[in-house]
Amino acid sequence: MFDRILVALDSSEQSDYVIQCVLQIKLQPSATIVLCHVIELSESNLEQPADLPFVDPELGQFRHIEKALQAYQAELPCQSELEIVTGDPTEEIIRLANIHHADLIVLGSRGLTGVNRILKGSVSSQVVSDASCPVLVVKL
């Protein structure tokens, strides 16, 4: 049923739970899972002087994320790809789902409520609202 699944992960413990939920989906041998992680752009990167060489302080973070995604990738029973991108999480998840023609998006929910949800926003709620395919939101 689902040939291409985009799984959006972050660096939290919840990623383990999201992967366990993905593994419970009955996958066809021909299915492809795209594991993605979105690194939010920090304002400090935007304020970098244009005339100085750019040294990416998040390069170590990128390698750490890549290794974590590769570890999850090893658990998957089908073909998989990795995507690590920077930007707004909601926009990038939707963009990647469109690029990869995802049949399903799987992501976790931070479980924010009240003022935190209003101030920080809910990535999962926005993805559910904007996605052109089904979305599975995994809550702890």
Structure tokens at 55: 């040294």
Q: Residue 120 pLDDT > 70, yes or no? A: no
Phi, psi of 58 (to 5 degrees): -100, 10
What domains are there in the chain, each with its CATH number? 4-42+55-133 (3.40.50.620)
Per-residue pLDDT band for 60 (boundaries 50, 70, 90) equals confident
Neighbours of 46 (CB within 10 A): 7
| Nearest-10 crossing angle of helices 59-75, 14-23 | 30
SS3 32: strand
Question: Residue 91's pLDDT band (boundaries 50, 70, 90)?
Answer: very high
Question: Mean pLDDT in the chain?
Answer: 86
Q: Are 75 and 27 in contact (CB under 8 A)?
A: no
> pTM for the full model?
0.85
Band (29; pLDDT cuts 50, 70, 90):
confident
Tokens of 121: 């926003």
Inter-axis angle of helices 123-130 and 89-99, to 10 degrees?
Answer: 40
pLDDT band at 41 (very low <50, low <70, confident <90, very high): confident
pLDDT at 108 over 60: yes
Q: What percent of the chain has pLDDT over 70?
A: 79
Summarize the confidence of residues 82-87 as an average pLDDT.
Answer: 96
Going by the DSSP 8-state scheme, the letter that residue 52 receives in this structure is S
39 SS3 class? strand
Q: Check residues 58 and 42 and name the one with the higher pLDDT.
A: 42
The pLDDT of residue 31 is above 50 = yes
Residue 44 pLDDT: 46
Between the CA atoms of 5, 11, 14 and 16, what dihedral angle is there, to the nearest 10 degrees?
70
Residue 9, amino acid: L
Comparison of pLDDT for 57 and 27, the residue scoring more: 27
Instruction: Say which amino acid occupies 101.
Output: H
Q: Is the CA virtual torsion 6, 10, 14, 20 positive or negative?
A: positive
